[in-house]
Structure 1
Amino acid sequence: MWIEQRIWTARDGWSVSGSRDGAASLVLYFAAPGSRPAETILTDLRQAYGDAPILGCTTGGEILGPEVIDDSVVVSALGFARASVRVTAHDLSDMSQSRDIGAALAQALAGPELRAVFILSDGTRVNGDSLVAGCLGAVASDVVVTGGLAGDGPRFQSTAVGCDDAMRPGRVAAVGFYGESLSIGHGSFGGWDEFGPPRTITRSAGNVLYELDGEPALDLYKRYLGDEAQGLPGSALLFPLSIRPMKGDAGGEVVRTIVGIDEESKSMIFAGDMPTGHLARLMRGNFDNLVDGAGRAAEAAAVVAAPCLALLVSCIGRKLLMGQRIAEEVEIVADVLGRTASLMGFYSYGEISPHGFTSKCELHNQTMTITTISER
């Protein structure tokens, strides 16, 4: 297996690192919104890698090696000796289609040697929980499912995904990895601290939260945020909610981030489901814990085979909270995985990975999620 990486910036154009040995099996890219026209990115990559499958999305920030970058396009091209890949995509016009599209993607990729599925989805039009559930229902239980929701910085206006075509909104795409020679690792951890009392979700519909403890959810949330409420929904990235079943233990918790608000209904729209009857609790970030969480994710995802590509999908909320210290979470991942790992990733509106405690694949928010790919 060989890995070649590229980065485009307005100042330097394209820069290339790594080594190429033959035709590319797969090309992955993550691009800052507005950094470079989608059609131009596709043309550039076609010129470099011919007819290899190409998959990419917009971001809230890019990762290449141990660095966090803005306003760039980062690329990893892979060449497998024995393994193979296949890509597929569907367009999404309404959140209600999320489960069906997840199932359709998985069915298109199904095969006896399927080892893993990596999903990239529009980040503002999808119900990530339903998308994941649909995918899991159509693949074998031993298939690793990971990925992320495309980003648009802190704006939450428009995200885009491309699959052998120019990126566009409303797109959901996936790549399947096939072959016994593959080693696939995964890890996902957060590091946020809970505060305030737990509250019961008393009215919701899918990923829309209407009431907590019988009170309009948006009103209650604004009281906690105080002056920060003026920056909603962007400021909500700094104060996500953890949710868990009423009788669930701490290991079953997932974190949810707001992607939109409705002032008229006093509701909040989340990246994933907010089931009625679950307990919800506010969270806030602790820098040291967030960095430690990234390191734990890397430890879980580490594989023996080398070289490997490490795909990092971290939440835009972590980036906004940590500011200039955000590089620390990538640096610790690089330290844990070592020099034989080539890192690339993006800051997202949602992370898809098996849970760090339950091993059940779910949509996460505010986590560092890592998928490692290597060939024995």
Structure 2
Amino acid sequence: MKTIQLVKQKNKDWIYIGENKTLIKPLVLVFGDRYLLEGSTIYQEIQALFPDGHIVFGSSCAEISSNTVNEDSITITAIEFEKSQFLIKTSNVLNTDLDSFKTGRDLIKQLPSEGLKYVFVVSDGSFINGSELTKGMSASNKDNLLITGGLCGDDTRFEKTLASYNENPKEGEIVAIGFYGETLEVSFSIHGGWTPFGPERIVTKAKGNILYELDDLPALDLYKNYLGDKAKDLPGAALLYPMNVKSDEEEQSIVRSILNINEEEHSVVLAGDIKENSKVQLMMTNVDNIANASERAAKQALTNRKNKPELAFLVSCIGRKLVLDQRVEEEVEEVIEVLGEGATVSGFYSYGEIAPFHGETACQLHNQTMTITLMSE
């Protein structure tokens, strides 16, 4: 496996991270600030760098590379596989009447199942229902196929997200990269580092990803009471206080971020679905807990591997980025230190992370986690 990485800040030239190499028909992952990816010639610009490359775009809240976290920039990771193959398929949720389950199911079905080891997903983060998308992808998964990835981001603006394959980035797009190869070894892990606090309440009214009532009281009013003075900074302030959700249908609790609020309905809009009768608690964290959770995820992903990883996909959450603030690079540095030399690190800060729980096979939508996927040929 050969890789190169480049980064470009606004109005500046491309800078290589490490040495430049000639790659043949590489997979080219382009994560960047949405404003920079909206340029009408962005695809042609990347194609000029990689004329025979398979170019996948995704807007992000920040980009992760082998040496740091980049913001207000575009980061490229180009990968030439020597023993493995990949196949890329796309779908657009705007073309399926916003049916996220069908979009996910049909997208995975596009990938031939014979020899398929792993799928990395770069998804729209605005129109998609991430919970239904992951359910759909898992529904077409007959052979315990590992699926990880994330929902594209737009920093704290929440205006629009973009993705594409071999064309200018656009809204509603979902890209699935299927990896094939007898010697391909893939492992993963996720960790959060958040701690529940306060009383546990029952979801008494919810529909899809909209939470209306907790303990028969308006959800938004209760949430504002918890936040106190910080309520004036909603919805942004909510990313610092996500919800721990326990459902009778799931063995493990899941974290849900609040993406928006509805003052008229006194409701909150979550990044994923929430079921009635679930139990909910608020969560909080700090920089050290975030960094330690990323370290644990890296160590767990390395457990029982036969070979050292050559490539690491990292998808972290915008909420974690807000907590880390000026120290955002610390959680990535923890991962890089655990992985050691030889592994190229690529990824982005997202609106939602896609992965199974550790020890399970069905992928789910997570919030506020560091998701690590390790690959070697």
Instruction: Report the TM-score range of the alignment, normalised by the length of the smaller protein.
Output: over 0.9
Structure-1 residue corresponding to 2:5: 5
1:328 and 2:330 aligned: yes
Residue 237 of structure 1: SS of its match in structure 2? helix
Counterpart CA distance in 2 for 1:333 and 1:108 is 33
Aligned to 1:259: 259
Letter of the 1:271 counterpart: A
Letter in 2 for 1:30: F
Check 1:92–1:350 CA distance in 2 against 1; reply closer, same or farther (3 A cut).
Answer: same
Residue in 1 aligned with 2:299? Answer: 299
Partner of 1:130: 132
Alignment partners' CA distance in 1, 2:172 and 2:324: 30
Q: Which residue of 2 aligns with 1:277?
A: 277
Are the counterparts in 1 of residues 31 and 75 from structure 2 also a CA contact under 8 Å? yes
Q: Deviations over 1:214-258 (max 9, x none)?
A: 111111111111121222221110000010125866xx0110011
Give the direction of change, closer, same or farther, for the CA distance of 1:189–1:31 in structure 2 (3 Å limit): same
How high is the TM-score relative to the length of structure 1? 0.94
Secondary structure of the structure 1 residue equivalent to 2:328: helix
Amino acid at match of 2:86: V
Asked if 1:145 corresponds to 2:151, the answer is: no
Task: Find the aligned partners of 2:329 and 2:261 in 1 and give their Cα distance.
Answer: 30
What corresponds to 1:30 in structure 2?
A: 31
Identity %: 39
Residues 36 and 57 (structure 1), Cα distance of their counterparts in 2 relative to 1, 3 Å cut: closer
SS at match of 1:276: coil
User: Amino acid of the residue matched to residue 276 of structure 1?
Assistant: E
**Post-superposition offset of 1:36:** 4.9
TM-score scaled to structure 2, two decimals? 0.94
- Label 1:255 to 1:282 Cα distance change in 2 as closer, same or farther (>3 A): same
Name the counterpart of 1:14.
14
Match of 2:223 in 1: 221
Q: CA deviation at 1:44?
A: 2.1
| Amino acid in the other structure paired with 1:90 | S
1:165 maps to amino acid: E
> What residue in structure 2 maps to residue 337 of structure 1?
339
Deviation readout 1:308-350 (Å, 9 max, x if unpaired) = 1211110001111111122110110000011111112111100
For 2:19 and 2:117, locate their aligned partners in 1 and report how far apart those are by CA, in whole Å. Answer: 25
Give the C-alpha shift of residue 19 in structure 1: 5.1
Instruction: Report how many residues are paired.
Output: 373
Shift of 1:305: 3.3
Give the match for residue 87 of structure 1: 88
Letter aligned with residue 41 of structure 1: I
Quick one: which amino acid aligns to residue 82 of structure 1?
A: K
Distance in 2 between residues matched to 1:125 and 1:223, nearest whole Å: 30
Report the secondary structure of 1:165's partner residue: coil
* 8 Å contact kept, 2:84–2:184: yes
Unaligned runs of 5+ in 1: none
CA 1:46–1:202 in structure 2 vs 1: closer, same or farther (change >3 Å)? same
Provide the residue aligned with 1:52 in structure 2: 53
Residues in 2 aligned to 1:201 and 1:57: alpha-carbon distance in whole angstroms = 34
> Structure 1's 223 and 330: CA in aligned 2 closer, same or farther, altered over 3 A?
same
Give the drift of 1:181.
Answer: 2.0
User: Does structure 1 retain, via aligned residues, the 8 Å contact 2:98–2:127?
Assistant: no
Structure 1 residues 176 and 200: alpha-carbon distance in aligned structure 2, compared to 1, 3 A threshold: same
The amino acid of 1:98's aligned partner reads: S
Distance 2:61 2:189 in 1: 21
CA distance in 2, matches of 1:142, 1:248: 18
* Conserved? CA contact 1:102–1:134, under 8 Å: yes
Relative distance call for 1:298 and 1:307 in structure 2 (3 A) is closer
Q: Hey, what's the Cα distance between the residues in 2 that align with 1:88 and 1:343?
A: 23
Q: Please list the CA deviations of residues 94-145 of structure 1 after superposition, one character each: whole Å capped at 9, or x if unmatched.
A: 8851100001110001321111111111112111111001011112333110
Identify if the C-alpha distance between structure 1 residues 289 and 360 changes in structure 2 by more than 3 Å, giving closer, same or farther. farther
Q: Is the 8 A contact 2:256 2:271 kept in 1?
A: yes
Return the offset for 1:193.
0.9
Q: How does 1:124-203 map to 2 (within 5 A)?
A: 124-203=126-205
Q: Aligned partners of 1:95, 1:369: CA distance in 2, in Å? A: 30
Q: What one-letter code is carried by the residue in structure 2 that aligns with 1:167?
A: P
AA of the residue aligned to 1:27:
V
Unmatched runs of 5 consecutive residues or more in structure 2:
none
Shift of 1:371: 1.4
RMSD over aligned Cα atoms: 1.8
State the one-letter code of the partner of 1:279: K
Give the match for residue 237 of structure 1. Answer: 239
Q: CA separation in 2, counterparts of 1:338 and 1:198?
A: 41
Shift of 1:307: 5.8
SS class of match (1:370): strand
